Amino acid sequence: MSQDTRDPFTYALSSNSAWAGYKSHQNPDFFPRLASGQSPSILWLGCSDSRCPETTILGLQPGDIFVHRNIANIISPTDINTSAVIEYAVAFLKVKHVVLCGHSACGGAAAALGDARVGGVLDTWLTPLKAVRNAHADELAAIRDDKARAVRIAELNVEAGVKVLMANVVIQDHIKERGLQVHGTLFDIGSGRVRDLGHGTGKPRAAAFGGGGAGDGEVIRGRHATLVFRSEGAGMQAR
Ligand SMILES: [Zn+2]
């Protein structure tokens, strides 16, 4: 097997090995507990963008979030993929929060704003976002700054997506039966902050949708170790 860690996949495997060793060292129960089952409290619906990894940006852990991500976090009522994830997370896993998250500098938003053909199935996929753009054409055209315009269409896309979520019968039933909460949010890549836009069941809060996870309120004080990333591969230094 090649040990050339300049290859991204080889490096990723070496990084995974270091991470798994680090987590086990820090908390020997971590993986056995993870393997015993999942009870995430959040369903995250976000963009596939590599800069928006939900568990990482929320500072949470494997097991905390059930996830569906697609290009430009488009929530379409006829998309069976999104619908199946929602149904499983809400009706079976009984998550407490459904979080739809858009983000700044979204390529899908830029494509919809530019109205250029991307090609293949992508133009079809982006159709709902283009409809959002058309519905708010005047407001968007009045925004001179390109970045600000992209943020605004991302916000409008989240608002439209939350409306689709609130019309989902599974979500409606669980809001009534057990107080399921639905949130629309936006991740600002430039600052790393997730902002609650106040759509859905909740009002904007500074400390958004926290709590309720398997490790809620639990601080695990494990043995100290440091993850070290070198060009020749990643590793762990235990103390
Ligand atoms: Zn995106």
Least confident interval from 124-138, 168-182, 193-207:
193-207
Domain ranges of the chain: 1-37, 38-238
Task: For the domain made up of 38-238, give the CATH fold.
Answer: Beta-carbonic Anhydrase; Chain A (3.40.1050)
Q: How far is the CA of 71 from the centre of ligand 1 (A)?
A: 6
Give 76-142 as a 3 state SS string.
CCCCHHHHHHHHHHHHHCCCCEEEEEEECCCHHHHHHHHCCCCCCCHHHHCHHHHHHHHHCHHHHHC
Burial code (b: 16+ CB inside 10 Å, e: under 16) for 42-62 equals: bbbbbbebeebebbebbebbe
Least confident interval from 38-52, 59-73, 117-131, 220-234:
220-234
Q: Is 103 annotated as a binding residue?
A: yes
Q: What percent of the chain has pLDDT over 70?
A: 86
Average pLDDT over residues 117-137: 95
pTM: 0.87
pLDDT in tens, 11-53: 999 999 999 999 999 999 999 999 999 999 999 999 999 999 9
Q: Which residue pairs, CB below 8 angstroms and at least 24 apart, start in 188-193?
A: 188/103, 188/104, 188/151, 189/51, 189/52, 189/103, 189/104, 189/105, 190/104, 190/105, 192/57
Q: Does the pLDDT at position 216 exceed 50?
A: no
Q: Does the pLDDT at position 223 exceed 70?
A: no
**Catalytic center residues:** 47, 49, 51, 103, 106
Q: Residues with beta carbon < 5 A to ion ligand 1? A: 47, 49, 106
Average pLDDT over residues 76-87: 97
pLDDT confidence band for 230 (50 / 70 / 90): confident
Which are the contacts of 28, defined by CB distance < 8 A and separation ≥ 6?
Answer: none
Q: Does the pLDDT at position 209 exceed 80?
A: no
* 139 close to 177: Cβ distance less than 8 angstroms: no
How far is 180 from 93, CA to CA, in rounded Å?
12
Q: Is 106 annotated as a binding residue?
A: yes
Average pLDDT over residues 198-219: 57
Q: What pLDDT was estimated at residue 192?
A: 98
Q: How far is the CA of 167 from the centre of ligand 1 (A)?
A: 23
Q: Is 49 annotated as a binding residue?
A: yes
Q: Is 52 annotated as a binding residue?
A: no
Give the mean pLDDT of the chain.
90
* 55 close to 65: Cβ distance less than 8 angstroms: yes
